[in-house]
């Protein structure tokens, strides 16, 4: 049997920081409210397009795997904020990397896009269509944010992460997952103004209003992720005790707390980075997974559970068995163009 081992990992966080206090300069909000209701302290705002964030993250993942761009046979790019719809964003990453042997596709399932992309790439490797893949979760939510709406604009940030996958005879990588969607609830998280449906309404593209029922999303998120975790564990006949590390989607610390309580998961096994980045949509779980590796939480051959949810309302949970190697083989020399702009300055230009 062939498995899809995860042998490379990389991230790219744009340098400009937007703090809770920055948000309070133009919104009726404050650090105490945001911290206590969400767990977030700051988030990043990108000065470049999403493809550039993705390119740097992908180059880092390739270096960590010790591979060349020519080795990549597939690029799956998960996002909701693609720079353009045709041509796709994965093809831009292919061009920037020089990954001339890669097939390229984009996947949009909102915040779960990185994890759905991981499923697509894993399945294509296991079925023999390709031997290797780059999986990307990247997002520049700041460009489609309704900055005057405090219900949503405090929650999101920009970022990117990537994984390199390759065939292996050793049982590792994604071993089971559960994916689903509450389509009947799609209207409770909707970015109005983002998409062709709005083109005849004479709206300026990117000038959005968000339909966002926070409490309903909260309940559906906990329900969906709990169900997904239970189903993924059941596929392998595992109990929660077999899980060494939980790397959940970081949309709200209270959502993570409710999930861990429901699942009776020990808090000390849950990886959290929400205070630094907020919710980066498609990038969130992959950035968290990459940081969990880089910060030593992922150990050789450990079992990782990754629950996620997002607009749609899509939900997922992946059971990942890590391989023997937890250190990067090499470092990439690729980096973002520099900027002197602060997060607040970048946001002021978008408002």
* DSSP-derived secondary structure for 41-73: -EEEE-SS-HHHHHHHHHHHHHHHHT--GGG--
Q: Which of 20, 108, 279, 318 is catalytic?
A: 279
Closest CA to 10 of 212, 265, 345, 294: 294
Contact 10, 63 (CB under 8 A): yes
Rounded Cα gap, residues 284 and 273, in angstroms: 9
Q: Which of 12, 111, 181, 229 is catalytic?
A: 111
- Residue 119 or residue 285: which is nearer to ligand UT7 going by CB? 285
Q: Is 47 tagged catalytic?
A: no
Contact 247, 292 (CB under 8 A): yes
Contact 75, 102 (CB under 8 A): yes
Regarding 29 and contact with ligand UT7 (CB under 6 A), the answer is yes
- Residue 63 or residue 154: which is nearer to ligand UT7 going by CB? 154
- Residue 107 or residue 154: which is nearer to ligand UT7 going by CB? 154
Binding mask 300-339 for ligand UT7 (x = CB under 6 A): ----------x-----------------------------
Residues 99-138 that bind ligand UT7 (CB under 6 A): 111
Contact 82, 113 (CB under 8 A): no
Regarding 251 and contact with ligand UT7 (CB under 6 A), the answer is yes
Extract the tokens encoding 275. Answer: 């205070």
Rounded Cα gap, residues 96 and 91, in angstroms: 9
- Residue 33 or residue 198: which is nearer to ligand UT7 going by CB? 33
**Which residue among 218, 253, 301, 341 contacts ligand UT7 (CB under 6 A)?**
218
How many C-beta neighbours within 10 Å does residue 31 have?
16
Report the interface residues with ligand UT7, using CB under 6 A: 29, 33, 37-38, 111, 150-151, 154, 214-215, 217-218, 251-252, 279, 310
Catalytic residues: 111, 249, 279
């Amino acid at each position: 049997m062939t498995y899809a081992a995860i042998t490379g990992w990389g991230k790219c966080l744009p340098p400009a920081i937007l703090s809770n206090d920055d948000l309070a300069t133009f919104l009726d909000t404050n650090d105490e409210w945001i911290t206590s209701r969400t767990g977030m302290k700051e988030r990043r705002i990108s000065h470049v397009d999403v493809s550039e964030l993705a390119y740097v993250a992908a180059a880092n993942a390739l270096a960590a795997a010790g591979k060349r761009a020519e080795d990549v046979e597939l690029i799956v790019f998960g996002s909701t904020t693609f720079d353009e719809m045709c041509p796709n964003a994965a093809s831009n990453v292919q061009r920037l990397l020089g990954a001339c042997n890669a097939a390229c596709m984009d996947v949009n399932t909102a915040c779960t896009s990185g994890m759905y992309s991981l499923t697509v790439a894993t399945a294509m490797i296991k079925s023999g269509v390709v031997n290797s893949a780059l999986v990307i979760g990247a997002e520049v939510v700041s460009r489609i944010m309704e900055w005057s709406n405090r219900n949503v604009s405090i929650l999101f940030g920009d970022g990117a992460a990537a994984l390199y996958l390759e065939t292996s005879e050793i049982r590792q990588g994604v071993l089971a997952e559960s994916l689903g969607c509450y389509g009947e609830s799609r209207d409770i998280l909707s970015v109005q103004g983002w998409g062709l449906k709005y083109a005849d309404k004479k709206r300026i593209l990117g000038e959005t209003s968000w339909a966002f029922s926070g409490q309903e999303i909260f309940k559906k998120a906990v329900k969906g992720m709990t169900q997904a975790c239970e189903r993924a564990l059941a596929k392998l006949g595992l109990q929660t005790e077999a899980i060494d590390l939980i790397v959940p989607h970081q949309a709200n610390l209270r959502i993570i707390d409710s999930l861990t309580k429901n699942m009776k998961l020990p808090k000390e096994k849950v990886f959290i980075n929400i205070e630094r980045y907020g919710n980066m949509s498609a990038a969130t779980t992959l950035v968290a997974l990459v940081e969990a590796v880089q910060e030593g939480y992922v150990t050789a051959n450990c079992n990782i559970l990754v629950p996620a949810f997002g607009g749609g309302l899509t939900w997922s949970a992946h059971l990942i068995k890590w391989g023997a190697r937890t250190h990067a083989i090499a470092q990439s020399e690729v980096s973002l163009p520099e900027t002197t702009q602060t997060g607040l300055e970048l946001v002021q230009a978008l408002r």
